[in-house]
Structure 1
C-alpha cells in the first residue's frame, strides 16, 4: 500500500507516539538519576520534571491506543490536546529564541528568586554564591566550596555566560518538537477520516 493510506497513517502515528513515550521515560529517568547521584535535591524541581514526564506519557499512550484501535473519541481528544501543546510550546520556543541579553538576565533573576529550594544545588555545582551579590554576614548559607574563600563569584556571572547558548538550544529543541506535534495533529486528523480496509466497506469509521 502506498504511503498515505490507512496502514501508513496508522504506523506513522504509532511510531510518533512511541517516540513521545521514550522521551517521557527519559525525562522521568533523568529526574531519578539526578536524585540518585545527588545532582538534584529540590523536590519541587524533581516533581515538575516527573509531572511533565507522566503527562507526556499519558498523552502518548492515549494517542497510541487510539491509533491501534482507530478509536474516534480518543483520537479526537488526542488531536485537541496535541494542538494546544503545539501552540504553547511553539510560542515559548519563539520567545526563547527572541530574548535579548537584558531580557535574559531579568528572566534568570526571576527564575532564581522562584527556585529557592534549588539554589543550593546551583551554588554547589557551579561553585558560586548568591545571584548578583552575597555577604558572608548573611543568615543564608552558601553550599559552594568557595564559600570560605574571599573570591567566590556570584552565580549570575557564571549563568549569564551560558544563558544565551542554553536558551538557543532549549528554544531550538522546543521548536523542533513543536513541528512533530503539528505533524501528529495532521496525521491524527487524516487517520480519523480514513476507512479501515479490513472493516465493513459500508461502515464509515
Structure 2
C-alpha cells in the first residue's frame, strides 16, 4: 500500500501549473516557478526579436521609397521638372516684355507669339505640378498627353532646324521676311541693310547706309545668312534638349500614376 506522503506527492503533480502549461511535472513548487520564469524570458526574447525584425523591415521599406524609382523619388523628380518649366516660361515672358519695353522688337506678332508660348508652358507646368503634389490621376493623365504632343512637335521642329541646308534656309528666311513689314524695318535698322535680295535705291529704307553718300548698302539676306546656320543650330539644339526632358516627364508621369502612395489607405485604388 502507498503511504500518505506518496499520495500527496502524486496529487501535487496532477494539479501542478507546470502540467497545464505543457512543462514536465515538477517535484516542488520552487522548480515549477523556475521553469515558468524561463518560459516567460524566452517568450520576451522572441517578442523583442520580432519587434527588431519589424523595425528593420519598416526602415528598409522607407529606404526603398526614397531610392530612385520609388514613390517619393518619382514625385520629387516630377515636381523639380515642372518647376524648371515654370522658370523657363517666366523667362520667355520676361524677355519678350523687356524687348518690347526697350524697343528692341517692334513687331507685335513676335512679342505676342513668345508671350503665348510662355503662358502655355506655364499652364502645362502648373497642371503637372498640381497633379504631382496631389497624386491626381486625371490631372496627371492630361498632363502626360499634352506633354507627349508637345514633345512630338518640338522634336520635329528641332530636327528640321538642324537639317536645313543653305538654300532651304534662304527660302525660309525670305518667306518670313515677306510676312511682316515691322520685322523688315527692325532688321534694316539693326543690321544696317536694305531689302532682302536686291537693294532698290529709289525706294525708302530706314538704314543709316541708305542716307549716306555714296549709298553702299548690303542686302539683308547676305548678313542674315552669315548667322542663320549658327542660330538654327543653337535653336535646334536647345529644342532637342528640352524635347528629351519632355519625354522624361512623360515617362515619370506614367510611372508615378501607377505607384501607390504608401501613406494612403492600403485598400485604396492607387
User: Could you say which TM-score interval applies, normalised by the shorter chain?
Assistant: over 0.9
Please state how far the C-alpha of 1:126 moved relative to its aligned partner: 1.0
Contact residue 63 and residue 74 of structure 1 kept, 8 A: yes
TM-score (norm. length: structure 1): 0.96
* Preserved CA contact (<8 Å) 2:199 2:217: no
- Alignment match of 1:136 (pick from 201, 218, 236): 201
1:74-109 deviation per Cα after TM superposition (whole angstroms, max 9, x unaligned): 100000000000000001111111111111111111
- Aligned-pair Cα RMSD in Å: 0.9
Displacement of 1:127 in angstroms is 1.1
**Structure-2 residue corresponding to 1:113:** 178
> What is the aligned partner in structure 2 of residue 9 from structure 1?
74
1:32-181 aligned at under 5 Å gives the runs 32-138=97-203, 141-149=204-212, 150-181=215-246
Question: 2: distance between equivalents of 1:12 and 1:95?
Answer: 30
SS at match of 2:148: helix
Q: Which runs of 4+ in 1 moved over 3 A?
A: none
Which ranges of structure 2 fall in alignment gaps of 5 or more residues? 1-65
Alignment match of 2:88 (pick from 1, 16, 23): 23
How big is the shift at 1:35? 1.2
Distance 1:144 1:194 in 2: 61
In the alignment, the residues of structure 2 paired with residue 166 and residue 130 of structure 1 have an alpha-carbon distance, to the nearest angstrom, of: 21
Stretch deviating more after TM superposition (65-74 or 141-150): 141-150
